[in-house]
Amino acid sequence: MTIDDIKQLISKDEHRQLELKKTTGELKDGMHTACAFLNTDGGWLIIGIAPGSLKILGQEVTDNTQREIAQYLTKIEPSVDVKVEYVDVPDRLGCQVIAMYFDAFVWGHQPYTYDSRPYYKVESTSKLMPREMFEERIRASKPQYYAWECQKADRVTTGDLNEERVRGAIRLGVERGRMMASAITEPFEKVLDKLQLLNGGVPNNAAATLFSTNIYEYPQFRLRMARFRGTNKNEFIDNQRAEGNFFDLLDAGMAFFFKHLSLSGKIVGFVREEHLEIPAEALRETLVSPLPSPIRKI
């Protein structure tokens, strides 16, 4: 970088991606801006320029100056690799302009803090980041810890989980070769922990969704089922509602399908083969596939 590059950078004065400081005496405030750059669109922090007049002053840079800058940069977390450039000022012997570029924020990465406080840019101003924004970025950076299904279930205990359902799921996993046979006889809470259904020893939302008998904290645990006459929805032939966990609702939905769909069969040798009007696998997939609405209608 040359002095001409500096002149080009400062030609339009300070803006959202450019902050000017007169000396390293303003370094602390400059680091607030650096943190804001890292949490927004990136930008340049340039020291040795008089804001407003844009006069290139530079300053004397010693070993102590460089150590001070390094110490301030270490207060940014997560740590950043910043190239600090020292540019000689031609008409001021022994003086240099200090330039640092900070990359733009990438969604899904952990937000940055300076001295344990997060900053972001609002136009050309550096401000403390609102708690809601900071927490949203934290959750996005660590979805495995902050996803809804991993959070503790409200007022649901291990006693609310249907152990028979859990054991049935384990047996199915063993039969399909996805789990070790020893899982069938393991203690209940150990099984829940291995299936990642506990958060600090308490059932998480995934456990509640799949196996809880306590559904009152989850109004979305509802299934409406209807059969209509004709191709419009003006007349019901059957209309039912079901409540319960995932497996309860799956059973209720499949039972409703079996009630209204034709079942044919024939004897092949000594075995009776039955065929549903629509394959059961397709019906089951219809029930478990996600829809935008929390209430599924069939």
Average pLDDT of the segment spanning 1-18: 92
**For residues 118 and 278, which has the higher predicted lDDT (pLDDT)?**
118
171 pLDDT higher than 70? yes
User: pTM, whole model, 2 decimals?
Assistant: 0.58
Site of tokens 């478990």? 288
Give the strand pairing for 55-56 and 96-102. unpaired
292 pLDDT higher than 60? no
Site of tokens 């609102």? 130
Which pLDDT score, from 0 to 100, does residue 290 have? Answer: 62
Q: How confident is the model at residue 207 (pLDDT cuts 50, 70, 90)?
A: very high
Would you say 58 and 89 are in contact if contact means Cβ atoms under 8 Å apart? yes
Average pLDDT of the segment spanning 61-83: 96
296 pLDDT higher than 50? no
Q: Tens digit of pLDDT for each residue in 86-123?
A: 999 998 999 999 999 999 999 999 999 999 999 999 98
Q: Tens digit of pLDDT for each residue in 146-161?
A: 788 888 998 899 999 9
CATH topology of domain 3-141: 3.30.950
For residues 216-240, one letter each, b for 16 or more C-beta atoms within 10 angstroms of the residue's C-beta and e for the rest, the string is eebeebebebeeeeeeeeeeeeeee
Which pLDDT score, from 0 to 100, does residue 144 have? Answer: 74
Can you give the residue ranges of every domain in the chain?
3-141, 148-211, 222-297
